[in-house]
Amino acid sequence: MDIRPIRTKADYKAALKLVSALVDADPKRGSPEGDHLEVLGTLLEAYEAKHYPIELPDPIEAIKFRMGQQGMSPKDLQPMIGGLNRVYEVLNRKRPLSLAMVRRLNSSLGISAECLIREVV
């Protein structure tokens, strides 16, 4: 197993190619190939986090996305946000999310609190 740090874009591309081949081979966990895949995955993850960071989504867009995923209507948000008027105010960016709303949305919909407390753009 030849493991080296991923420092350049060429290293990154080579590691991706190797990971792709290993995934296609579907090695057993704990086997030398499986360990190689796991280590390369960790190295790729660290490189991507540093060089290709992903920003958190806009909180309102995250709520709308989750609503779409779960087939929810604005009425379904009432227990988390309040009356239907308030739900529409939040979804139309006329009212900010309160801390209580953030907690309930996080608990009920599984949207990260970190995402929900972001500044609305």
Q: Is the pTM of this model over 0.75?
A: no
DSSP 117: T
Sequence-ordered list of residues with C-beta below 8 angstroms from that of 72, at least 6 positions apart, any chain: 66
pLDDT for residue 120: 64
DSSP 71: T
Report the number of distinct structural domains present in the chain.
2
Residue with tokens 């280590």: 39
The residues of the chain scoring below 70 in pLDDT are 1, 120-121
Asked whether residue 38 falls in the same domain as residue 63, the answer is: no
pLDDT for residue 121: 58
Stated as kind and residue range, the H or E segment containing 39 is helix 32-51
Asked whether residue 71 falls in the same domain as residue 47, the answer is: no
On whether residue 63 sits in a domain, the answer given is: yes
Q: Residue 95 is part of a domain; what is its CATH number? A: 1.10.260
Asked whether residue 47 falls in the same domain as residue 85, the answer is: no
Measuring CA to CA, which residue among 59, 56, 68 is closest to residue 76?
Answer: 68
Chain segment 80-95, per-residue pLDDT in tens:
999 999 999 999 999 9
Asked whether residue 37 falls in the same domain as residue 78, the answer is: no
Q: HSE (CB half, 13 Å, CA atoms) of 77?
A: 27
Asked whether residue 40 falls in the same domain as residue 76, the answer is: no
- Segments forming the whole domain that contains residue 29: 9-51
